[in-house]
């Protein structure tokens, strides 16, 4: 299959994913707050103590790719929380995984008897499957937080009338944010064109315009997604006696308390190092020192071999200045389609560059997937560290320059 034809197929599929993932994920409602923020009540939480498992059954003959994505999604949540999945049980409650046409949806948290998680024909993307499993665990949509109006505006005039409920904000008395900041980069965040009547006009508008293309990412659960689910299930109690000295705002991994779960871009046992990344099967990225003059960085991320990848390749560059100084990053060129040029590319789903410039490393950085609005702009870090990350399902090239300021 040639590149043009394959891209056309992918774009058509992503359009369906956006339609179902962002609009149908709350079709099954157990309570009025379904699909919104995390519930305060513990009645919909899964067991974590002793032999507590989240039991599930697969009630549909999925193809090999969908089974693989389902396994990867459950493994991801299991690896980063105190939760565990187990297939097959006569006990209740149980997750019944099936395919309801093309629909992707789940109820929010544990139900009293059983719940359905639908992974229809349009759901064959890791970001979609891990999003729906997130609902099953109890995570609601980020854009429905009760404090969302301080961070986004909603263009209700362009919302499909049948989906207006998908944009209802939760009530503080019914939900819990755990004091964590709003996360434009949450895997649970709608993209800017979700439920749009005219998919050339955004429905969601970020109050910080540099985050407009951050919303709706398809890569993996964000660091704050993981922190939320660990707080929801009080997973920190498993590591309370270890005193693991996590760095860069990481936190102890309840599955291995001697190691830490790290903000994106960081790695090592204690989050003390740069994430080594993975470009095909090879590490990538680098640790760089900024000097007084501009230094150019050109890189290509991702290897296209005609096959649809399960996961994004990702590379990270740590650019450091001297203590007390800042890093300036000049965007010279970003190859790729802009979010909105194609009706299905909200959230820079295929490939993007991320600039993490904040002092709060938990936050998702600014994401861009083309030159529009950012070419030849210079950004400054808040501290002596800037992290430049690249995520791609295909091959993408970029060119930046950096210096100390």
Binding residues for Zn(2+): 131, 135, 141
The tally of CA atoms less than 13 A away on the side-chain side of residue 114 is 18
Per DSSP, the residues of 264-308 read TTEESTTS-EE---BBTTB---EEEE--SS-EEEEEEE----SS-
Question: Rounded to whole angstroms, how far apart are CA atoms 72 and 62?
Answer: 14
DSSP 182: P
Please confirm, yes or no, whether 132 is among the known catalytic residues: yes
Buried b (16+ CB within 10 A) or exposed e, 396-405: bbbebbbbbe
- Cβ proximity of 34 and 175 under 8 Å: no
Detail the DSSP E strand segments found in 149-272: 152-154, 204-206, 251-253, 256-261, 266-267
* H or E element that contains 134: helix 126-137
Binding residues: 131, 135, 141
**Bridge-based pairing state of the strands 54-58 and 85-87:** parallel
Question: Rounded to whole angstroms, how far apart are CA atoms 360 and 362?
Answer: 5
What angle in degrees, to the nearest 10, is found between the helix axes of 3-24 and 126-137?
Answer: 10
Question: Rounded to whole angstroms, how far apart are CA atoms 65 and 85?
Answer: 19
Active-site residue among 132, 314, 354, 404?
132
Question: Rounded to whole angstroms, how far apart are CA atoms 48 and 154?
Answer: 37
Question: Rounded to whole angstroms, how far apart are CA atoms 235 and 48?
Answer: 8
Catalytic residue numbers, as ranges: 132
């Amino acid at each position: 299959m040639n590149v043009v034809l394959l891209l056309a197929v992918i774009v058509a599929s992503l359009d369906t994913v956006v339609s179902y993932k962002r609009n149908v994920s709350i079709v099954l409602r157990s309570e009025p707050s379904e699909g919104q923020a995390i519930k305060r009540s513990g009645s919909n939480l899964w067991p974590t103590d002793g032999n507590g498992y989240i039991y599930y059954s697969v009630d549909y003959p999925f193809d090999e790719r969908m089974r693989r994505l389902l396994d990867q999604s459950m493994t991801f949540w299991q690896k980063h929380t105190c939760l565990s999945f187990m297939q097959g049980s006569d006990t209740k409650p149980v997750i019944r995984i099936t395919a309801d046409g093309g629909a992707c949806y789940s109820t929010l948290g544990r139900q009293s008897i059983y719940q359905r998680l639908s992974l229809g024909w349009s759901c064959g993307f890791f970001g979609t499957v891990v999003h729906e499993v997130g609902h099953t665990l109890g995570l609601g949509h980020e854009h429905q937080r009760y404090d969302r109006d301080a961070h986004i505006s909603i263009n209700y005039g362009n919302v499909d009338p049948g989906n207006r409920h998908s944009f209802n904000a939760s009530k503080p008395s019914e939900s819990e944010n755990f004091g964590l900041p709003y996360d434009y980069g949450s895997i649970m965040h709608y993209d800017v064109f979700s439920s749009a009547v005219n998919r050339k006009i955004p429905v969601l508008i970020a109050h910080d315009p540099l985050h407009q293309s951050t919303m709706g990412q398809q890569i993996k659960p964000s660091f704050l997604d993981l922190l939320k689910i660990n707080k929801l299930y009080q997973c920190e109690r498993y590591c309370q006696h270890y005193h693991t000295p996590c760095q860069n705002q990481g936190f102890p991994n309840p599955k291995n308390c001697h190691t830490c779960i790290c903000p994106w871009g960081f790695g090592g046992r204690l989050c003390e190092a740069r994430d080594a990344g993975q470009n095909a099967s090879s590490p990538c990225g680098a640790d760089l020192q900024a000097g007084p003059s501009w230094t150019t960085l050109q890189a290509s991320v991702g290897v296209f071999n005609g096959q649809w990848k399960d996961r994004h390749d990702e590379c990270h560059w740590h650019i450091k200045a001297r203590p007390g100084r800042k890093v300036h990053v000049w965007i010279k060129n970003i190859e790729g389609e802009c979010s909105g040029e194609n009706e299905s590319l909200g959230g820079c789903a295929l490939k993007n560059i991320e600039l993490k410039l904040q002092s709060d490393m938990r936050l998702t950085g600014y994401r861009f997937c083309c030159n529009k609005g950012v070419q030849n702009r210079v950004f400054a870090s808040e501290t002596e560290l800037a992290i430049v990350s690249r995520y791609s399902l295909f091959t993408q090239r970029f060119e930046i320059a950096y210096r100390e300021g």
